[in-house]
Structure 1
Amino acid sequence: MKNKNITLGVNFAGHDASYTLLDSSGIPIIIAEEERYSRIKKGEFVPNPQIIFSIIEEAGLLPEDIKFLSIANIQEFIENRPEQTLIEYIPFGNAKIYDALFKSIIKKLPNVVSVNYLKHHLCHAASAFYPSPFINAAVLTVDGMGEDETVNIWYGKKNELHKVFSIPHPHSIGYLFQVISKWMGLTGGEREGKLMGLASYGKPIYKNLFYENFIQIDEYKGFIINPNLEKYPCTNESWIKYCEIFFGERNSSGIINEYHKNIAASVQEVLEEVLLNLLKIAKNLTKAKYCCLAGGVFMSSMANGKLRRENIFQDVWVQPLASDNGLSLGAALWSYYYGRNERKRWEMQHPFWGTEITGNDIEVFIKKNKITCYKSDNIEFEAAKFLSSGKLIGWVQGRSEIGARALGHRSIFADPRDYNSKNKMNLLIKQREDWRPFAPIVLEEDLSNYFDDDKPSPFMMFVSNAKQNCPLPAALHIDNTGRVQTINKNFDSRVYNLICEFKKITGVGGLLNTSFNLRGEPIVRTIEQAYDDFIKSGMDVLVMNDYVFQKPTDYVWIGDPPIAKLPPINFCNKIANLLISEVKNIALITYGNEKLLIEMAEYIKLNNSDTIIKTFQLFTEKNSFISKFDKLMSYDSKEVTSIEKILDFDLVFLLIPTWVDIAFEMIPNLLSPFTNMVIKNLATNIFIIDSSGNLGDFLGILPISNKEWMYNGCLITEIERFWFNKNKS
């Protein structure tokens, strides 16, 4: 096959792994986020080279078509940070291991002629500048940390990027924001977004405390962290200990009160003021008319909105893949554009670069699963009628959008006029914290009618202030703001027509929009995932392309009380099904997530009072199970001092936390006793559940012990598979 001169960008060192393929004109063929494939939201993965070749195949290409390879993050810089020498800190990875992995990939790409290893902030800058509408612009990148920097300012001119300013590690406003969210007890990979949402409920009365003890704005340096904080190693636990000096003990209750809300408001305002100062520095250094923004900190749409309203630049463009999921795009774009003389560049005018669902795919799915549905001749009108009557609609169209936010191809829509739509959406589908807002999607021509803003926001990256009589109450936050997405016909004609039809019926040119996923899961990618979430949730209607799916007449939603009060872990139903079976002697073993275990134990006790649950906590220092729950819920708990004791149980469930609970490099240390038992064929009673609810036998390859099991074959994380294969060899 003739070589197609394809560019491949890769980021798989840490969280938000992603892969980008560019054609010979520098236009994306596909931008793939690993969480959409693994189904582990915000997962931190052991690098899995095989996924690269799966995505190449999905794009209709062959490995021989790849000519240029660009890899984000340089491991040597990460491993040279001071905290890497601490026992408590587990680094992202070993440079030699990553180098070996990259070489193994390159060997399978026989026509690659160029390999670039690019620094973190350069990839962020490239992801922001090259797809922007600007020929020349300032570029500001801010995140928790890259290899050895936390902030960069660049000047982008034609196809070149020149760094003009940087702030070194450990001075990091992004890391401080993350640590405060952890101190507050917020959970999940999106905890910083939760903190931003919570800020609107509080008052910034502790702002001066932050400036006196944590961070100082500097007109020329940007900012520096307090010298006392700088004495603490730059790790989560170390900085949390510093926070406890001023704010009290870390919140482990999961309960948010006014004190927490005021701290959230304070740190949010500090963040905005720090970013404003950095924007002024970028203006002074570059004299540019326009500015591009990227880095995880700029996922703060509240901060972005305030920065844009300051009018320091004529216009500001924020990369919708501002977090590390945009690094592969930046790496690929830099590899393609840097040094080229032509001025014309690809401009990101829409976000629909993910997996495609076609009408033929849907027909095959319907036939295979014998599902009743119908194809509509006017889907926008029918969907608008459903919405105007109060229905909650899952909306799936064509290629999936990239990034953390649903932008009209993997969305759930509701009527924004009725404030109760927000409550219904949360109770019946999302089941998330009630203080987190939903978003409005509005016709571009109606933006200035509803908000004090006239600048389009097609990627939902800016918060705007709503006007007094804005007819979208269900989509507004407590402070009367909205994280607005504007829509026009060129961006997406189908969603545009849907909202136009809704406006004809109701007079309102907007909808409530949220991402198509259940709690703790990534946005759906495939037909199967969308239909599964539709059936499992309180959605009324599912629209996929032109097809309309409704719930079977005999369907009973499992979320009706009392099961609607599930703890926020989606594997509780699976566990409950097992507990009401004949199997009663079950061990529940958790790695480092005590709160999760307590929530599960509470649920199990309420619904299975006759079941004896034995719960244990693993101490990795001795590789032994030691009970920490002697009095927990009056359960019969006992100490297990030997790994072989787990063979006494009918079933053993290992609760594997996601990367936000422990660093993923601890996994081989934790699992080594089990790996040895599996190799010896002793542990056929062991099953793994990760924190996203994926359930399977120990490594997804062993037979279930002499019985059929309803969850055999479910997805398991690549982490365990990687280390099993490593140890086995």
Structure 2
Amino acid sequence: MGVQLERLTRVKYDGRKSKVGQLVSYLLDTAGILVADLDVIAVSYPSVDLPSRLHVGGLDLGASNVLHVGHHLAHAYSAFGPSGFSDSAVLVVDGHGDPYFEDSEDMMRWGPDVRQRLAERSAAADNTCMAPRFETESIYRFTRDEPPILLHRGYLAFGRRTGYTPLLFDPLGIGQNYRQVAAWLFGTGKSAGKVMGLAPYATEPLPLPPSFVSSVDRHPTLTDEWKAEIRSALAADPTLIRDHGWAAALAGYIQSATEQLMLDLAHRAVALSESTSLCMAGGVALNATTNGRIERELHLTGFYVQPASSDAGLSVGAASAACHKTTGRTPAWQPAHDAWGRRYSADEVSLAVNRHPDVQRLAPGDIAAVAEHLAAGDVVGWFEAGSELGPRALGHRSILADPRPAGMRDRLNLEIKHREWFRPFAPAVLEEFIDDWFEPGGAGRFMLSTTQVLPHRRAHVPAITHVDGSSRVQVLRRGEGEFRRLVEAFYKLTGIPMVLNTSFNVAGEPIVESPQDALKAFQAMKLDLLVLDGLLLGRVAPNRR
């Protein structure tokens, strides 16, 4: 099982080390075990922080049964392990990973060795004023029985780039430049998804002198001068950021540049590894538009992106690396879902409902009744079993709606989720109808790639069709549980083999985790109904309170 810290603390992007103990206790209590019962503890923890934080969340990270796995290496294991491939190229791209002082060797060492090496490294850095290099792009070749081979690594070092420079932004990495544009447009670098959603609205080139957009080996590159011009323009006219055309052009530029750079890196990964399969992880691997292009243009025999490609997936990679370290083989599995959170009992659900007198049980509460509500235009909160580990709601912590009404997107964005008007929504689609509605390539189980809605179908499902005709499709395979059954029932009623599926959270908050979270969000948002592990719930009419 697994869960993100933010889901427990209800603070989005929560990375507070002081709260790690809460996360550890949650996982151990759910599993019914103690720390002493664990044979191996695997962590991927920023090594620059470790000297002062070898004790975190009640764990001694310097203990002999603690395996430390480098940041990019953990990302790589997180993608290769569940891919099921026997061998593969693995591409990891993010803002930055671990710092390296003297070499490019990945860390996979036991606690006492790490404690000693960090002490030695800290002394060396103090004596020589040495600055670290931070990994930003890594390419590996993985097989099940052999240690992974590092084929290429790009670094951010001393504020400049080293490594395979022609493919990388200067002076920052691909992920950091995307974050920089997100910060300019939306005030925080954590708004990369908003940049991706805004980019298709770009209709004009970025209105800046071309001298500030340079090219190295035909690859777009953000230069210091270009960034200075952006900052100068914003300083002179702070309202410029609210100019839709200007903002969309900036988003379109960084998205286009990122797609080209990632395509080139993907080609390089396949060539260096001599493999026809590719796995990806790291924050940039959540760029669905880029992933769709890679899948369509590289003609791979296998393509897998870790659903929790951000740092939330590092725990998956560290555990997979620990299995390889202790058994000599990287475990292979192909999960049908990303729902690794704990399941709440019927008693816990009932207790949470009873605490909310403004909520009532509705009858009937079967799948057919929920489908009828969706077809009638109701917006439904859907809570089923354990929560997803990654950022995509895949039918366990979802808000569902009818994709047919043209006004549904605005209703969801502006009235329910209280977020920007341009944000797109995704469909969950019955597998057997994918080819009837979407162009080939880019439709997957975990909503991590985009594809095009067929032109003659777009008018039928405008709420899930973005301005450029694209859609981030989730494929529902046969036999995949209650969510699949709901979409089947909706299809029988409407002839539309999909529902609109978005994450169950309001803007600025994490996805709901517990029944109590779901009920609180249901009351705060203008949802019509809530399905809570099979219970169909509505609001008590005002005159009955």
TM-score bin, normalised by smaller chain: 0.7 to 0.9
Map 1:67-146 onto structure 2 (within 5 A).
67-76=39-48, 94-101=49-56, 105-106=59-60, 113-146=64-97
Alignment correspondent of 2:21: 50
In the alignment, which residue of structure 2 is the partner of 1:366? 353
Aligned: 1:526 with 2:526: no
Whichever residue aligns with residue 71 of structure 1, its letter is V
Q: Which amino acid in 2 is paired with 1:42? A: Y
Deviations 1:28-52 (A, max 9, x none): xx11100101111123323434221
Is residue 207–residue 246 contact of structure 2 (8 Å, CA) maintained in 1? no
Partner of 1:173: 174
1:62 to 24, 34, 41: 34
Assess if the C-alpha contact under 8 Å between 1:207 and 1:269 holds in 2.
no
Counterpart in the other structure of 2:164: none
Partner of 2:472: 483
* Contact 2:429/2:473, CA 8 A, preserved across alignment: yes
SS in 1 for 2:500: strand
Does the C-alpha gap of structure 1 residues 465 and 378 become closer, same or farther in structure 2, counting only changes over 3 Å?
A: same
Segments of structure 1 that go 5 or more residues without pairing to the other structure are 1-29, 77-93, 233-238, 557-729
Q: How do 1:182-201 residues align onto structure 2 when only pairs under 5 Å count?
A: 182-184=183-185, 186-188=186-188, 190-201=190-201
- Identical counterparts, % of pairs: 28
Residues in 2 aligned to 1:289 and 1:100: alpha-carbon distance in whole angstroms: 42
- Counterpart in 2 of 1:38? 9
1:629 aligned partner: none
Partners of 1:547 and 1:408 in 2: CA distance: 15
Cα distance change, pair 344–207 in 1 and its aligned pair in 2 (3 A): farther
User: 1:425 maps to what in 2?
Assistant: 412
**2:141 corresponds to:** 155
Residues 255 and 372 of structure 1: is their aligned pair in 2 closer, same or farther, counting only changes over 3 Å?
closer
Q: Secondary structure at the match of 1:436?
A: coil
Find the aligned partners of 1:240 and 1:257 in 2 and give their Cα distance. Answer: 19
Helix, strand or coil at the partner of 2:304: strand
Does the C-alpha gap of structure 1 residues 465 and 208 become closer, same or farther in structure 2, counting only changes over 3 Å? farther
Q: Deviations over 1:299-346 (max 9, x none)?
A: 110111111110342231100111111112111111112463457523
Q: 1:338–1:438: structure 2 CA closer, same or farther, 3 Å change rule?
A: same
Q: 1:371 to 1:551 in 2, by over 3 A?
A: closer
CA RMSD, 1 decimal? 2.8
Q: Letter of the aligned partner of 2:91 in structure 1?
A: L
One-letter code of the match for 2:465? L
1:516-665 pair list within 5 angstroms:
516-554=504-542
1:477 aligned partner, one-letter code? H
Residue 474 of structure 1 deviates from its aligned partner by 0.6
Partner of 1:295: 282
Partner of 2:335: 348
Mean alpha-carbon deviation: is it higher for 449-458 or for 334-343?
Answer: 334-343
CA distance in 2, matches of 1:383, 1:539: 13
Give the conservation status (yes or no) of the 8 Å contact 1:142–1:298.
yes
Which residue does the alignment assign to 2:298?
311
For residues 349-428 of structure 1, the aligned pairs below 5 Å read 349-369=336-356, 373-374=360-361, 379-428=366-415
Q: Distance in 1 between matches of 2:305 and 2:204?
A: 26
Q: Deviation of residue 380 (structure 1)?
A: 1.4
* Cα distance in 2 for residues equivalent to 1:241 and 1:98: 37
Deviation of 1:494 (Å): 0.8
- 1:62–1:101: structure 2 CA closer, same or farther, 3 Å change rule? closer
Aligned-residue offset at 1:373: 3.5
| Structure 1, 333-342 or 169-178: larger mean CA deviation | 333-342
How far apart, in 2, do the equivalents of 1:266 and 1:480 lie?
19
Instruction: Judge conservation of contact 1:73–1:119 (CA < 8 Å) in 2.
Output: yes
Contact persistence 2:28–2:34 (CA under 8 A): yes
Partners in 2 of 1:55 and 1:408 — Cα distance? 22
What is the CA-CA distance between 1:458 and the residue it aligns to?
Answer: 0.7
How far apart are the structure 2 equivalents of 1:100 and 1:360? 36
Structure with higher RCO (Cα < 8 A, 6+ apart): 2
More helix per residue? 2
Q: Are 1:446 and 2:470 an aligned pair? A: no
Once structures 1 and 2 are overlaid, which stretch shifts more, 286-295 or 112-121? Answer: 112-121
Other-structure match for 2:444: 457
Mapped partners of 1:129, 1:209: distance in 2: 43
Contact 1:49–1:105 (CA<8 Å) still a contact in 2? no
The number of residues matched between the two structures is: 491
Paired position in structure 1 for 2:125: none
Q: CA deviation at 1:368?
A: 4.7
CA contact (8 A) 2:139 2:151 kept: yes
Superposed displacement of residue 545, structure 1: 1.6
Q: Equivalents in 2 of 1:211, 1:357: separation in Å?
A: 58
**Contact 1:429 1:539 (C-alpha < 8 Å) held by counterparts:** yes
Aligned amino acid, residue 48 of structure 1:
K
Deviation at 1:242, TM superposition (A): 6.3
Amino acid at match of 1:142: V
2:501 is the alignment partner of 1:513 = yes
Deviation at 1:275, TM superposition (A): 0.5
Other-structure match for 2:205: 205
Counterpart for residue 581 of structure 1: none
Q: Contact conserved, 1:151 with 1:167, CA < 8 A, in 2?
A: yes
Q: 1:175 to 1:343 in 2, by over 3 A?
A: closer
Q: What does the per-residue CA deviation read over 1:504-528, in whole Å, with 9 as the maximum and x for residues that have no partner?
A: 1000000111110111100000111
**2:81–2:330: 8 Å Cα contact kept in structure 1?**
no
1:320 is aligned to 2:307 = yes
In structure 2, what is the Cα distance between the partners aligned to 1:215 and 1:43?
Answer: 37
Change over 3 Å in CA distance of 1:212–1:340 after alignment to 2: farther
- In structure 2, the partner of 1:500 is 488
The alpha-carbon distance between structure 1 residues 301 and 454, as it changes in their structure 2 partners (threshold 3 A), is closer
Code of the aligned partner of 1:524 = V
Offset from partner CA, 1:425-450 (integer Å, 9 cap, x none) = 12321010001111111111111111
Supply the AA of the counterpart residue of 2:470.
T
CA contact (8 A) 1:201 1:478 kept: yes
1:604-628 superposed Cα distances (whole Å, 9 cap, x missing partner): xxxxxxxxxxxxxxxxxxxxxxxxx
The aligned amino acid for 1:461 is L
Change (3 A) 1:196 1:203: same
Q: Distance in 2 between matches of 1:513 and 1:117?
A: 37
Q: Using the alignment, how far apart are the partners of 1:263 and 1:316 within structure 2?
A: 30
Aligned partners of 2:76 and 2:90 also within 8 Å: yes
Instruction: Please give the alpha-carbon distance, in whole angstroms, between the structure 2 residues aligned to 1:246 and 1:315.
Output: 45
1:203–1:266 CA contact under 8 A, matched in 2: no
User: SS of 2:455's equivalent?
Assistant: coil
Residues 372 and 33 of structure 1: is their aligned pair in 2 closer, same or farther, counting only changes over 3 Å? closer
CA offset at residue 349 of structure 1?
2.2
Structure 2: tracts of 5 or more residues without a match:
99-133, 162-172
> Partners of 1:504 and 1:540 in 2: how far apart?
22
Post-superposition shift, 1:372? Answer: 5.5
Show CA shifts across 1:43-68 (max 9, x none).
Answer: 33234342212321123222222121
TM-score, length basis structure 2? 0.83
